[in-house]
Amino acid sequence: MRILIVDDELLACERIRKLLEHEANIEIVGEYHDGRAAIAAIRELSPDLVFLDVQMPEMGGLEVLEKLDLKAMPVIIFVTAFDQYAIKAFEFGALDYLLKPFDRQRFHKALERGRADHAKRSEGNLDRKLLLAMGEWQKRSKYVERLVIRSSGRVFFLRVDEIDWIEAQGNYLKLHIGNEEYMHRETMTRMESSLDPDKFSRIHRSTIVNLERIKELQPLFHGDYRVLLRDGQELTLGKNYRDRLKV
């Protein structure tokens, strides 16, 4: 079985190499330390199994999977120092995950699962659950998760999940986050298309709201609704946007 190791920590790579030395019928075809190099290597070398670090600078393991061809997907075993990624690992199609620091017994168990899954795939039986999970991840990954905000000579990153609501102001958008407000140069249409519709909805031609922040809807005149947020903010749901909230 041809194996690729991808981890930005050199000690972690060395640990995996040493554990593989004691395993039969194994060939390590490469070792890489960032996501972009890993994508190119997987496409070129076609490994059977990849030990893939979840967290790496610029591009982590989940983002690596998003770039790969589902039908040519190698067996993936995630490697992570943070157990909160374990659920995501399985949700997005990993066969197994190794929580650092892992011992020889746990590593061997993961590798044996990898052998069994590789044998199954060699018979042309790519797990349907894997295809569905990766398809869902690819669909979700097209939505932006962070915005780059420039303000008073500063540049900082803002997670979109922090945003309560967004309003249009000319050529800019005003992002409301608690008691703070940030101006961001973008159109409402492009912002709407870049946000996950399961999390954000446009409720007016000039308003987008984080669905998690909505507390209550109150009917107004002519088919409009008052939208009450959990912090007391009042917005308006226009009648042309009622279907967005299934009212």
Rounded-to-integer distance, Cα 115 and Cα 45, Å: 18
Final residue before a domain boundary, out of 89, 111, 141: 141
Does an H or E element contain 191, and which?
A: helix 188-194
Q: What is the pLDDT of residue 222?
A: 78
Q: Are residues 16 and 137 in the same domain?
A: yes
- Please report the sign of the dihedral spanned by the C-alpha atoms of residue 187, residue 191, residue 193, residue 194: positive
Mean pLDDT of 72-89: 73
Higher pLDDT, 98 or 222: 98
Rounded-to-integer distance, Cα 56 and Cα 51, Å: 13
Higher pLDDT, 61 or 38: 38
- Spell out the alpha helix ranges (H) of 32-165: 35-45, 61-66, 85-91, 104-122, 128-141
**15 CA to centre of own chain:** 27
Q: Are residues 153 and 201 in the same domain?
A: yes
Does an H or E element contain 96, and which?
A: strand 96-99
pLDDT digits (tens, 9 = 90+) for 167-186: 999 889 999 999 999 999 88
Q: Are residues 56 and 136 in the same domain?
A: yes
Torsion of CA 191, 201, 161, 54, to 10 degrees: -80
Domain that holds residue 40: 2-141
Q: Are residues 9 and 119 in the same domain?
A: yes
Q: How many domains does the chain have?
A: 2
Q: What is the pLDDT of residue 209?
A: 97
Is pLDDT at 246 greater than 80 in this prediction? no
Q: Are residues 229 and 120 in the same domain?
A: no
Q: Are residues 153 and 209 in the same domain?
A: yes
DSSP for 207-222 reads EEEEGGGEEEEEE-ST
Is pLDDT at 84 greater than 60 in this prediction? no
Mean pLDDT of 217-234: 91
pLDDT digits (tens, 9 = 90+) for 193-219: 889 888 999 999 999 999 999 999 999
Q: Are residues 227 and 153 in the same domain?
A: yes
Q: Are residues 110 and 220 in the same domain?
A: no
Supply the CATH number for residue 41's domain: 3.40.50.2300
Q: Are residues 134 and 233 in the same domain?
A: no
Supply the CATH number for residue 163's domain: 2.40.50.1020
Tell me the pLDDT band of 227, cut-offs 50, 70 and 90.
very high
pTM confidence score: 0.53
Q: Are residues 130 and 179 in the same domain?
A: no
Is pLDDT at 9 greater than 70 in this prediction? yes
pLDDT digits (tens, 9 = 90+) for 17-32: 999 998 899 999 999 9
pLDDT digits (tens, 9 = 90+) for 93-152: 567 888 888 899 999 999 998 998 888 776 555 555 555 555 555 555 567 888 888 877
The mean pLDDT of the chain is 85
Q: What is the pLDDT of residue 89?
A: 54
Final residue before a domain boundary, out of 113, 141, 169: 141
Is pLDDT at 236 greater than 90 in this prediction? yes
Q: Are residues 154 and 224 in the same domain?
A: yes
Q: What is the pLDDT of residue 16?
A: 96
In eight-state DSSP terms, residue 45 is: H
